[in-house]
Every structure is written in structure tokens, then in C-alpha cells.
Amino acid sequence: MMDFLTTPFVFELGEFIISVSIFNLIFKFILPVLGMILGYALLMMAVRKILSLAKAKEEIANRVSKWARLALKLALFLGIVGSLGSVLGISAYRYINNFLHFLNKPFFDTGDTSISVVTIILVIPIFYGASWSGKLVQNLLEKNIFPEITTLDEARKVSMGNFARFATLSLVLLFMLSMIGIDLTALGVVFGALGIGVGFGLQDMVANFFAGIMILFMRQIKINDRILVNDVEGNVTDIKLMSTTVTTLRNEYIIIPNSQIINQVMHNYSYHNRQVVVVNKVGVHYETDLEQALAVMKGIGEDNEWHVKGTVVKSFIRSFDDSGITLELWVTVDDVVHRAPAYAWTNLELWKRFKAAGIEMPYPQMDVHIKER
């Protein structure tokens, strides 16, 4: 029986002669292939379990699963080819090792830095893996840790999450680059030399980067703050290391470089609280009873539905102009987002109540007197 299992069967395929025994077929091909298939299934289950525990977004989880599946399928294919070659008497592993040795042979070697084809190929997944690690840490903090901390507001949570993502990305990137044989000291010298040449071209980028760090830690602006910078007014919807995204009142998405927020005058209407004073100007005729007009204006301010109860409504004379007298009404509204509707409502009420009270609003006019000789 044992002789039957070990006796080779000889096949002639043209010029090729293949010798295969049942023993070799079972122990060198069938069992190794079954083991590799089982290993493939177990590794894919492990990847899905890790992604489930990390609570990664569906898009990121699908992308990671796709690349992991492709890598494992490639390894499975090479293993099957190697096992088949071993059974047929072809030393496939030796050729694979020679090929891998060729790819791993350094073509640039200086000091502790050794760069080969494999090194260059590995740089791409390293950058991707570092970026994915940063997003993974941020998601873990935002979904599992930050909700348990009640002393942190939403803006601080976003800032800490962004910083954790950047720090993780940097640490993983530096660690993995050192693992594949790139000397970070030499890399720093190279970047330093390049920085001298391109420093002027990248100075805006560097300024935006450090301005982003200052914004995240100094918290000059936060998510959902209403700001005005460079004549752009809107709500802050996202803060990144290089730029800040603002959604304007017209629902336009404006991306502002962080250096402009740091270096220029910026209005933050919700820095301490979201209450703002709405100022309405109106002109009246010189024959107007000013005390009556000011009383009507004050009543309008107190009737404003967005007026903060308990705050003083101010109405006063602003200036004496060529066509009439300018009056102002100051009303404190509860939220900066109500400033525009409160301003529009007040203007309409001024028109209605002045008209009902017989208070005339002047318009620019010019009287021409012809002198006869």
C-alpha cells in the first residue's frame, strides 16, 4: 500500500516528462492548498472583526476589506503556484525567492538608508495605512471615548480629534518608513536641503499649517461659530490643519486659508455668546416730532420676537443730514443667525408704524432757485 502511494506516475507532455506520486500530490499540494484557503478565510474574518470593533465608516471599511482581499488572494495564488511547482518537480519557490531577492536588492545605499524596488513599492501602502490609522483613531475617540466625557464641548472634541488624527498619522508614517530601511536622519537632511530651495514657494503652506495648529489649540474659532473674515460671513462647518470651511448665508462653501484667519481682523459673533445687537437706521423729516418717532422705534424694538427680554432697547438721534434727521434703533437679538430676519422685520415695521403715525420719511431732493436779473 505504501509503495502504491509513493510510486510515481510518469506523464509525457511533448518534450516534458512529469513524475507525480499520490503521496506528493496529497502532502505537497492538496493539504497545503487547503491550509492556505483556510488561512485566507481566517485572515479575512480577522480583518472584518477588527473593522467592526473599530466602528470604521462603511466607505473606509469597504476599501480596507477590498485591499486586504486582493493582497490575500495574490498570496494564495502564489502559494498554489508554488505548491503545484513543487509537486511537478519545478522548484517554483527558488525562482520566487530569486525574484524577491532581485526586487529587494538596493540600488541606492548610503549610511543606514537602503532603497530598493520593494522600498518604493511599500511607500504607497505605508502612506495609505498611516492615513487610515489616523482616521481610525479619530473615529474611535469621537464614537467611543468623547461621548463619555461630559466636560468637553463639541468644538473641543473636534479639535482634539483632528489633532489625534494628525499625530497618529505622523507617528505611524515615521515608524513604518524606518521599518523599511529609510534613515529618518538622512531624510531630514534631504528635506532640509530641499527646504532651502523651495522654502519661498511653500511658505504659505507652512504658514497655513502652523496657523491651523494655533486655531485648534487656542480655539479662536469653533465649529458652528458665526464669523466674518475677508468680507465672507457664515458659519464654521469644518476646521482642518490647512484651511477652514465656512458656509455663507447664501449656502456657499468658502474655504479660507488658516493664515488669513490668524493674521487678519476677524469678527467672531459667537466667541463668548451668540447674542448680537441689530442696528436699524431711518431718516425722518425736519418737521417730525422726534420724541414721538423715538418712542415708536422703541416700541418696535420691544415687540421684536427675537429681542432678548431684559436687555435695553435704544433709540436715539444719529445725525442731522442734508435731507433729514437720521435715527437709530439698537436691539439685542438672541442669536446671530436671527440678525438678518430681525433687521428685515424691523425695517418693515418702521415703514408701517411711521406711516400710521404720520411720520414722514424724507428722500433726497434738490430745490433749484432761478435768480432773475
What digits encode the pLDDT tens for the residues 349-364? 999 999 999 998 887 6
What's the pLDDT score for residue 115? Answer: 62
Cα four-point dihedral sign 82, 86, 88, 92: positive
Going by pLDDT thresholds of 50, 70 and 90, the confidence category of residue 116 is low
Q: What is the mean pLDDT of residues 136-153?
A: 75
> What are φ and ψ of residue 180, in 5° steps?
-90, 10
The C-alpha cell 433726497 sits at: 364
Is the per-residue pLDDT at 18 higher than 60? no
What is the Cα–Cα distance from 55 to 47, expressed in whole angstroms? 12
Element containing residue 328 per DSSP (H, E) = strand 325-333
What's the pLDDT score for residue 8? Answer: 60
Q: Which is higher by pLDDT, 233 or 127?
A: 233
Cβ within 8 Å of residue 190, ≥6 positions away: none
What is the Cα–Cα distance from 236 to 292, expressed in whole angstroms? 42
What is the Cα–Cα distance from 174 to 126, expressed in whole angstroms? 10
Going by pLDDT thresholds of 50, 70 and 90, the confidence category of residue 118 is low
What's the pLDDT score for residue 316? Answer: 92
What's the pLDDT score for residue 104? Answer: 61
What's the pLDDT score for residue 69? Answer: 83
Going by pLDDT thresholds of 50, 70 and 90, the confidence category of residue 329 is very high
What's the pLDDT score for residue 337? Answer: 86
Going by pLDDT thresholds of 50, 70 and 90, the confidence category of residue 5 is low
Is the per-residue pLDDT at 62 higher than 60? yes
Kindly report, residue by residue over 182-196, the tens digit of the pLDDT: 666 655 555 555 555
Q: What is the mean pLDDT of residues 122-138?
A: 77
Nearest to residue 354, comparing CAs of 331, 320, 325?
325
Q: What is the mean pLDDT of residues 88-92?
A: 54
Under a CB-based contact definition with an 8 Å cutoff, are residues 166 and 133 in contact? no
Q: What is the mean pLDDT of residues 93-119?
A: 59
Nearest to residue 354, comparing CAs of 331, 334, 324, 332?
324
Going by pLDDT thresholds of 50, 70 and 90, the confidence category of residue 142 is confident
Kindly report, residue by residue over 226-239, the tens digit of the pLDDT: 888 888 888 888 88
Q: Which is higher by pLDDT, 88 or 137?
A: 137
Identify the top-confidence range among 7-21, 59-73, 147-161, 255-269.
Answer: 255-269
Is the per-residue pLDDT at 13 higher than 70? no
Going by pLDDT thresholds of 50, 70 and 90, the confidence category of residue 327 is very high
Under a CB-based contact definition with an 8 Å cutoff, are residues 239 and 158 in contact? yes
Q: Which is higher by pLDDT, 159 or 299?
A: 299
- The whole-chain average pLDDT of the chain stands at 77
Identify the top-confidence range among 138-142, 149-153, 316-320.
Answer: 316-320
Is the per-residue pLDDT at 11 higher than 60? no
Start-to-end CA span in the chain (Å): 144
Under a CB-based contact definition with an 8 Å cutoff, are residues 239 and 212 in contact? yes
